[in-house]
Amino acid sequence: MTQLVTDIICPFCGTLCDDIEVEVSDDGKKIIKVTNACAIGAEKFLHAQSPDRIVRPRMKQEDGSWKEVTYDEAAKYTAKILCDAKKPLMYGWSSTSCEAQATGHMIAELVGGVVDNTATVCHGPSLIAVHDVGIPSCTLGEVKNRADRVIFWGCNPAHAHPRHMSRYSIFSRGYFTTKGSKSRKIIVVDPRPTDTASVADYHIQIQQGRDYELIDALRVALQEGPLPETVAGVPKEKIYDIARLLKSGRFVTIFFGMGVTHSLGKNHNIDIAIALTSDLNKYTKAAIIPMRGHYNVTGSGQVLGWQFGFPFCVDLSRGFARYNPGESSANDLLMRGEVDANFVIGSDPGSHFPFKSVKVINELPSVCIDPHMTPTVAVSKCHVPVALVGIEVGGSCYRMDNVPIESRKVVDPPAGMLTDGEFLELVLTEVQRIKGVAA
Amino acid sequence: MTEILIKNGFVFDPVSGIKGDKKDIAVKDGVIVESVSGSAKVIDASGMTVMAGGVDIHSHVAGAKVNVGRNFRPEDKLQAVYEPARGVRHMAGGNSVPTVFKTAYKYADMGYTTVIEAAMPPLYARHTHEEMRDTPIIDQAALPLFGNNWFILEYLKNGEIDNASAYIAWLLRSTKGYGIKCVNPGGTEAWAWGLNCMTVNDQVPYFEITPKEIIAGLMTVNESLHLPHSLHLHSNNLGNPGNYQTTLDSLKIAEGFKANNNFGRDQVMHHTHIQFHSYGGTSWGDFESKGAEVMDYINKNPNITCDVGFITLDETTTMTGDGPFEYHLSALNHLKWANTDVEIECGAGIVPYIYSKDIYVCGVQWSIGLEMALLAKDHMRCYLTTDHPNAGPFTRYPRVMKWLMSEKARDEVFASMKAEDKVRDRSTLGSIDRELTLYEIAMMTRAGTAKALGMGKKLGGLVPGMQADIAVYPYNPETASDPEQIEYAFSNAKYLIKSGEIIINDSEIVSNGNKQTYWVDVKTNPSKQVEHDLREMFLKYYTVTERNYEVEEHAFMKNPNVISIDATQ
Ligand code: SF4
């Protein structure tokens, strides 16, 4: 007999679907089938079962080979490099639970570390824009129930957040949107003809890197102000049309992704996108939501916020929290050679950071906590495999609209394997011992 | 557990009627007792003031909007020194929106031991509880929002009180909430379409119900569930000139209602931050106080309590479940604006604000709060809050006490204002010479608030059998003369005991305590209709499943304190 586990969250992307059903073997050890998840999500669950999974911590030897160690030894090494360092970088946090993040932050406080999360290379500019202009937003259910005008700007949920469109933003039927996609006008702004663009009512093929100009033009068009013949490659008639379309809606939502946050202009693009949203509230109701990537990058910003007051790149090295993106952010620190130990959890900077940063990691005392073999593991001195949050252990996570949902355990982790939280507790205890402070 | 004897202090305890007599207070096993053995730890409180631990009835200290406030205002961290870790203390920062650690330490320094988070969006309940779990020392509870909830709008429109009651009981259990909060009834739902409800008789778009019906319905449910606290109301039209009419209309809805509970609570309506609701005039030009009129009504109606929401003349961060108000505020001051509409349930907005004593409107707002508190006849029904952080940070409570207790201190503020004459002209504060006593302050900050929360048998007093929450302040009521001493003493408790444990010893925080989270579990008759509606709403309109909605006690509370009620008949 197999058993069906329901109401599981998918620990992959910021859509944080919570209706996943998993069929597991009678002994609760094996995942047989995953339903409701998209292809990426299902693969994440099935990956947990891969037979070649590394199940014990390892230290890299002189010759580059790995030697198995115990969790205690790995925790001692981790605590030592963090305590020995003047300014250890503790990076990642986006694919682990809020409970593990909180424990990690207590370690960072004791060792004077810099805590940064993956927002630093994705929605960091959005967070900075929010400091400047705030953010009128809403939960995804508001989009589902009310939104009749939806813009996807510089994002392609069809590939990056596959169930977003059916659960919340295009096809879903809500209380005031009973006809699903027929209740909505969908606008995609993207230089590329993406799969999301192919289901939109309007695809605005903006010239690459011209987001600021086009948003600015839309703000002018809302007031029927004068525009040049084309802006960012878009004819002015089309811009006026879109502005009128938005004003005629009852509830507008703008979703935006890294096409806006990491093209020229960065946080200024988001400043003006938020300003456009605020402007729209003079005519109708409007909200804006960043398409957050990792399933709990939002949670990392939340926990850092309530514990230290800032959403990312929090520098605790001077004994109080400092925050200055561009100075206290991971890549800036690595490239300037300012950190002397590297700790990674819940992310893969080896794949996503510039080569120059990865080279620095390769030279530092370093530990990487990750269930999988990743490029970051390859450049780290110590690799600590752990149970997968949301599959083998539960914990709190935050969806892209900041709604918290508790992830659940579906199957047992491989025998003897610790969770992120358990391993971090070991490290914390050891750090407290080294520092001579009470638990 | 340890025994403690607090000797020789001047005790102020409205619960037992002690008005500054020298008296010893004994503690054993976490509660106050008649006497202790010779081995008790002795705290010498000679020349100091002793009160029960403070109970804050309305403060925004944990949850989604508070954290937006923290994360969207890095500059707030520069308004106060970021304190490094020390002993048991974590590093702590922020001013108007402090980190959870700073929240706990500052409340402890002020001698407070219990704080109610005044607005919990149910869908974000888990977030609120995560923050409360990480907030050491102080006991907390949170009030979920109901005034714009679709279930409630539908049930009350149809007169289905039993269903509304069963639903509210279900939601309190699911979110681990403490009572019924209602913010801008109907208006926040209207705000989801960019609209608002400005009077108690405006129709909520699409739901065909009025704020008046929502308020009356929620009070009926509250009493039928025998909840410890009453309806906690933030009425419509907050913050606008001329709004006192709406306030009086809202208060009048309580006429004829009687409290029905076993917790010693008398009121059926607690109106929060009444200062923001007592404005006259037709615009900011002819803006004036109607505090006297509103307080006169409250004085005459014993089934109503209120807290004030004193303006503290600071730079702060406003945050409220009143989404449309925050939008209008941002249109007024052109500072940044954050808003979140929450599906099915509610919404919230956040805007930084500077209450400058040089702007006459801010000065008048400041005087309205003090005027009202000084005109209150019964301080067991009128409480000290700043609606933290809306009217000012909670860390200013001691300053507010100074203003309430000293006419001289008030005159100094008046004299420092650019538009002193105009401010004096727009309220009656300048003509009031009343100075509150420490006994009245104890009513406003512990005995009264604990009673209104239905915690009066356990908190807010120093009677044997009550939880041993005790603050000792370095303030000698017999010799103190300078009003500044009031502010200093009530910001710097010399000793603080919570649940019998010493938290502050000789002005230093020595323990993170064993904080409790209160929530209310009411048993009602089952309702097939509510079960059906929940299933339907979660399947069709929510974006989380029904099972994933519940906040699990074991995961989110270090030390739960459940108040169980049987409301089945
Ligand atoms: S959309 Fe995202 S959260 Fe949902 S199943 Fe796919 S990967 Fe998982």
| Closest CA of chain A from B470, distance in Å | 26
Q: How many CB atoms lie within 10 A of CB A62?
A: 5
Closest chain A residue by Cα to residue B136: A307
Q: B565 near B520, Cβ under 8 Å?
A: yes
Q: B128 near B62, Cβ under 8 Å?
A: yes
Q: B431 near B418, Cβ under 8 Å?
A: no
CA distance A22 to A4: 6
| Sequence-ordered strand ranges (E) for B208-322 | 231-234, 269-271, 279-280, 288-289, 304-307, 315-320
Locus of tokens 């909840």? B227
* Paired strand residues for A234: A231
CA distance B83 to B509: 13
Separation in Å, CA B445 to CA A334, B111, B401: 51, 10, 10
Q: A419 near A390, Cβ under 8 Å?
A: no
Burial A269-283 (b: 16+ CB within 10 A, else e): bbbbbbbbbbbbbeb
pTM of the model: 0.97
Q: Which of B93, B124, B350 sits opposite A403 (nearest CB)?
A: B124
* Paired strand residues for A369: A345, A384
| Closest CA of chain A from B394, distance in Å | 17
Best of A163, A399, A408, A410 for a ligand 1 pocket test (most atoms within 8 Å of beta carbon): A163
Written in H, E and C, the secondary structure of B41-66 is EEEECCCCEEEECEEEEEECCCCHHH
Which residue pairs from A370-379 have beta carbons closer than 8 angstroms and sit at least 24 positions apart in sequence?
Answer: A370/A344, A370/A345, A370/A346, A371/A48, A371/A53, A372/A47, A372/A53, A372/A54, A373/A54, A374/A348, A374/A350, A375/A348, A375/A350, A375/A351, A376/A344, A376/A347, A376/A348, A376/A349, A376/A350, A376/A351, A377/A350, A378/A350, A379/A350
SS3 B189: helix
| Number of continuous H segments (helices) and E segments (strands) in chain A | 18, 22
**Which residues between 49 and 78 in chain B have a beta carbon less than 8 angstroms from any beta carbon of chain A?**
62, 64, 66-67, 70-77
- Residue A142: which residues within 8 A CB-CB, separation 6 or more? A251, A253, A287, B192, B341, B342, B343
Q: A133 near A149, Cβ under 8 Å?
A: no
Token output for B113: 């031991």
CA distance B339 to B194: 12
Token output for B29: 């096993």
Q: Whose CA is nearest to atom 7 of ligand 1?
A: A41
The ipTM value here is 0.97
pLDDT attached to residue B496: 98
Locus of tokens 């109701």? A285
Cβ neighbours of B72 in A, within 8 Å: 130-131, 134-135
Cβ neighbours of A119 in B, within 8 Å: none
| Torsion angle (degrees, nearest 10) of CA B536, B537, B538, B542 | 150
Name the stretches of chain B with pLDDT < 70: 1
Token output for A46: 């099935």
**Which residues between 463 and 492 in chain B have a beta carbon less than 8 angstroms from any beta carbon of chain A?**
none
Phi-psi label, residue B181: left if phi above 0, alpha if psi -120 to 50, beta otherwise: beta
Burial B464-499 (b: 16+ CB within 10 A, else e): eebbbbbbbbbbbbeebeebebbbebbbbbbbbbbb
A134 and B337 in contact by Cβ < 8 A?
Answer: yes
- Residue A360: which residues within 8 A CB-CB, separation 6 or more? A334, A335, A337, A339, A342
Token output for B449: 């608030």
| Sequence-ordered strand ranges (E) for B390-468 | none
Nearest to A348 by CA among A168, A100, A58, A91: A91
| Closest CA of chain B from A17, distance in Å | 8
CA distance B501 to A358: 50
> Which is it for the CA torsion A342, A348, A354, A359, positive or negative?
positive
Q: Whose CA is nearest to atom 8 of ligand 1?
A: A41
Q: Whose CA is nearest to atom 4 of ligand 1?
A: A17
Q: Which of B134, B343, B350 sits opposite A145 (nearest CB)?
A: B343
CA distance B291 to B288: 9
Atom of ligand 1 nearest to the CA of A161: 1
Q: Which of B91, B344, B542 sits opposite A320 (nearest CB)?
A: B91
Angle at A303 between CA A299 and CA A309, to 5 degrees: 130
SS3 A253: strand
Testing the interface with A: which of B76, B548, B549, B553 to mutate, by most A Cβ within 10 A?
Answer: B548
Q: How many CB atoms lie within 10 A of CB A194?
A: 20
A306 and B194 in contact by Cβ < 8 A?
Answer: no
From the CB of A242, is ligand 1 less than 6 Å away? no
Chain A with chain B: Cβ pairs closer than 8 A: 184
From the CB of A45, is ligand 1 less than 6 Å away? no
pLDDT attached to residue A102: 98
From the CB of A13, is ligand 1 less than 6 Å away? yes
Q: Whose CA is nearest to atom 5 of ligand 1?
A: A37
A306 and B100 in contact by Cβ < 8 A?
Answer: yes
SS3 A205: coil
| Closest CA of chain B from A315, distance in Å | 12
pLDDT attached to residue B29: 95
The rounded radius of gyration (Å) of the Cα atoms in chain A is 23
CATH code linked to domain A58-121+295-435: 3.40.50.740
Atom of ligand 1 nearest to the CA of A36: 5
Percent helix, percent strand, percent coil in chain A, to nearest 5: 40, 20, 40
Q: What DSSP character marks residue A412?
A: P
B83 touches chain A (CB under 8 A): yes
* Paired strand residues for A67: A59
Q: Which of A106, A135, A251 sits opposite B338 (nearest CB)?
A: A135
Cβ neighbours of A329 in B, within 8 Å: none
- Residue A82: which residues within 8 A CB-CB, separation 6 or more? A88, A90, A107, A111, A113, A341, A343, A427, A431
The secondary structure of A269-334 as a DSSP string is HHHHHHHHHHHHTTTSEEEEEE---BTTHHHHHHHHHHHHS-SS-EE-TTSS-EE-TTTSSHHHHH
CA distance A8 to B547: 10
Residue count of chain B, please give it. Answer: 569
Separation in Å, CA A25 to CA A11, A48, A330: 21, 14, 42
Separation in Å, CA B554 to CA A392, B338, B546: 19, 32, 18
Q: What is the pLDDT of residues A77-118, one digit of tens each?
A: 999 999 999 999 999 999 999 999 999 999 999 999 999 999
| Closest CA of chain A from B322, distance in Å | 14
- Domain residue ranges of chain A, discontinuous segments joined by +: 2-47, 58-121+295-435, 124-290
Token output for B529: 């209709």
CA distance B519 to B297: 32
Bond preceding residue B389 cis, omega within 30 of 0: yes
pLDDT attached to residue B555: 86
Q: Which CATH architecture has domain A124-290?
A: 3-Layer(aba) Sandwich (3.40)
Closest chain A residue by Cα to residue B191: A285
* pLDDT values of chain A reduced to their tens digit, one per residue, 439 residues: 899 999 999 999 999 999 999 999 998 889 999 999 999 999 999 988 888 899 999 999 999 999 999 999 999 999 999 999 999 999 999 999 999 999 999 999 999 999 999 999 999 999 999 999 999 999 999 999 999 999 999 999 999 999 999 999 999 999 999 999 999 999 999 999 999 999 999 999 999 999 999 999 999 999 999 999 999 999 999 999 999 999 999 999 999 999 999 888 889 999 999 999 999 999 999 999 999 999 999 999 999 999 999 999 999 999 999 999 999 999 999 999 999 999 999 999 999 999 999 999 999 999 999 999 999 999 999 999 999 999 999 999 999 999 999 999 999 999 999 999 999 999 999 999 999 987 7
pLDDT attached to residue B1: 60
Atom of ligand 1 nearest to the CA of A164: 1
Token output for B326: 């925050």
The secondary structure of B442-459 as a DSSP string is HIIIIIHHHHHTT-TTTS
B190 touches chain A (CB under 8 A): no
CA distance B504 to B108: 8
From the CB of A37, is ligand 1 less than 6 Å away? yes
Cβ neighbours of A396 in B, within 8 Å: 126, 130, 555
Q: How far is the CA of A44 from the centre of ligand 1 (A)?
A: 10
